[in-house]
Amino acid sequence: MRILITGGAGFIGSHLADRLLSEGHSVIAIDNLATGHTRNIEHLAGHERFQFIRHDVTEYMYIEGGLDVVLHLASLPSPVDYLKKPIPTLKVGALGTHKALGLARAKKARFMLASTSEVYGDPLVHPQPESYWGNVNPVGPRGVYDESKRFAEAITMAYHRYHGLDTRIFRIFNTYGPRMRPEDGRVVTNFIGQALRGQPLTVYDDGSRTRSFCFVSDLVDGIVKLMHSSEHEPVNLGNPLEMKIIEFAQIVLELTGARSEIVFVTPTDERTKDDPQVRRPDISRARTILGWEPRVSVQDGIGRTIDYFRERFAAEA
């Protein structure tokens, strides 16, 4: 198949490109490099089935030839990024999704939307099944991301119902692994970076909020399985193993062997406003429909991520 990935130079997009190329498909990666980086795809330069186009998906996209699948991953998913760039975040979720849908429709291609657990907001139902409509503050600092993704889901379903477009929606829960940006401000990169530099680990507030962390190869497996299915309704993709942020800090200390202390800080900006108290996917649908569930343990996945950052910091030193 000929597959286009928006956000193809990003963390998840580049891993997807690798997987799809290894299965014999052709891949076109589109990215404006706002948060993606050519470092993530430089090993693909010269690959006969790979093409990179630097382009902002909120602008009209012209692609020559046919396409079988449009995978729309372009996004600014880190809270620190979307607090700094609220309008680009809204634009890529809304206008970018509209453009990507238009392209899929013109090419009669399947369209797959990368959505997010943030559509559930600060959830009042735990764990979160796809049937839960969420608890989002539209005017809070996270609203720019959450609402753009909720709009993206709505317009995807509208193209499906009104234009008969063949669509998929997957809701990604916290995912980590090699190629994350060390400076993206998220908990995984902050803690690993701090531990490897011998700095204190910054646990926000009292560290009692929970997240469930999924290794990127497991997520990619789920996306590929969904691509081959015929499921139009949203599907959660994430790891149901939930932990408190303070527990996660201890795991990072253990696996890096760092002797950093853990400090409790209360951010003075808005980054923890409306921060979901708990998050864990109910993956019953993915299990039933796709026969999918995560296989990589936190120890293994975090270990591989630490190795990546060790090498990267050493190369940059």
By the rule CB under 6 A, 203 interacts with ligand UDP: yes
The answer, yes or no, to whether the previous bond of 182 is cis (omega within 30 of 0) is no
User: Angle 47-301-3 (CA atoms, 0-180°, nearest 5)?
Assistant: 30
- Please give the C-alpha separations between residue 137 and each of 41, 123, 145, 171, in angstroms, as whole numbers: 36, 11, 11, 19
Q: What's the number of CA atoms in the CB half-sphere (13 Å) around residue 116?
A: 28
By the rule CB under 6 A, 187 interacts with ligand UDP: yes
**Considering beta carbons, is residue 8 or 79 the nearer one to ligand UDP?**
79
**Considering beta carbons, is residue 72 or 186 the nearer one to ligand UDP?**
186
By the rule CB under 6 A, 199 interacts with ligand UDP: no
Query: Judged by CB under 6 A, which stretch of 43-51, 98-106, 121-129, 197-205 contacts ligand UDP?
Result: 197-205
78-137 binders of ligand UDP (CB under 6 A): 79
Query: Judged by CB under 6 A, which stretch of 63-71, 89-97, 202-210, 221-229 contacts ligand UDP?
Result: 202-210
Catalytic residue, candidates 82, 120, 145, 176 = 145
Question: Where would I find the H helices in the chain?
Answer: 11-22, 79-84, 86-91, 97-107, 143-163, 187-196, 216-228, 245-256, 284-285, 298-316
Question: For ligand UDP, which residue of 4, 216, 245, 283 counts as binding (CB under 6 A)?
Answer: 245
Q: How far is the CB of 79 from ligand UDP (least distance, A)?
A: 5
Query: Judged by CB under 6 A, which stretch of 93-101, 126-134, 203-211, 280-288 contacts ligand UDP?
Result: 203-211
**Considering beta carbons, is residue 103 or 196 the nearer one to ligand UDP?**
196
By the rule CB under 6 A, 174 interacts with ligand UDP: yes
By the rule CB under 6 A, 250 interacts with ligand UDP: no
By the rule CB under 6 A, 231 interacts with ligand UDP: no
**Considering beta carbons, is residue 50 or 309 the nearer one to ligand UDP?**
309
By the rule CB under 6 A, 72 interacts with ligand UDP: no
Number of residues that bind ligand UDP (CB under 6 A): 13
Q: How many CB atoms lie within 10 A of CB 22?
A: 8
The closest of 56, 54, 57, 47 to 27, measured between CA atoms, is 47
* Sign, Cα dihedral of 216, 222, 226, 232: negative
Q: Tokens 């993606």 identify what position?
A: 36
Give the max Cα distance, the chain.
57
Is 145 a known active-site residue?
yes
Tokens representing 222 are: 């789920």
Is residue 66 a contact partner of residue 107, using CB atoms and an 8 Å limit?
yes
CA distance 203 to 191: 9
**Considering beta carbons, is residue 206 or 307 the nearer one to ligand UDP?**
206
Question: For ligand UDP, which residue of 275, 289, 303, 312 counts as binding (CB under 6 A)?
Answer: 275
Q: Report, as residue numbers or ranges, the catalytic residues.
A: 145
Binding site for ligand UDP (CB under 6 A): 79, 174, 186-187, 190, 202-204, 209, 211, 245, 272, 275
